[in-house]
Amino acid sequence: MPAARRGGRCWRVEFDEAHFAEDLAHSSAAARTAGGSERDEITKHGLAHERLKRCEREGRDGTHLAGCGKIYIPEPDGPWGMVFDGRIDDEGRPYLACLAFGVRHPTGPGALSVYQVASRCLNA
């Protein structure tokens, strides 16, 4: 049961529709299903604070995600993830912006991890 329904604290999450659609387009059918379902759930109910894990400030793969958070899909340690950046809206309320969705640790040649995509987005 989502934390919002249990009375837990949740982050409001926003998605850039074009970026998310691009992430899904580069994903397998299973990833598209999982990512789309996760997006629908957290858009509707929010993202429980306890699900959010801190990203490494600087990753071994050259990523720079200081201040960002991540979730694994499906819980607790699925193969896909979403990376979020904390932001403040025009009315001064905090929310999370989804930077990227994708495979956490791809094995194919030239494949980018969700962390690499998020780092490029954040640091472009």
Task: Please write the tens of the pLDDT for every residue from 10-34.
Answer: 999 999 999 999 999 999 999 999 9
Q: Which two tokens stand for residue 100?
A: 């990227």
| CATH class of the domain at 9-123 | alpha beta
Beta-strand pair 80-88/94-103: antiparallel
pLDDT for the residue 7:
59
pTM for this entry: 0.92
Q: How do the domains of the chain map onto residue ranges?
A: 9-123
User: Could you give the angle at which helices 29-45 and 17-25 cross, rounded to 10 degrees?
Assistant: 150
50 burial (CB, 10 Å; 0-12 / 13-18 / 19+) is: exposed
Q: Of 4 and 92, which is predicted with more confidence?
A: 92
Mean pLDDT of all residues in the chain?
Answer: 93
* Polymer length of the chain: 124
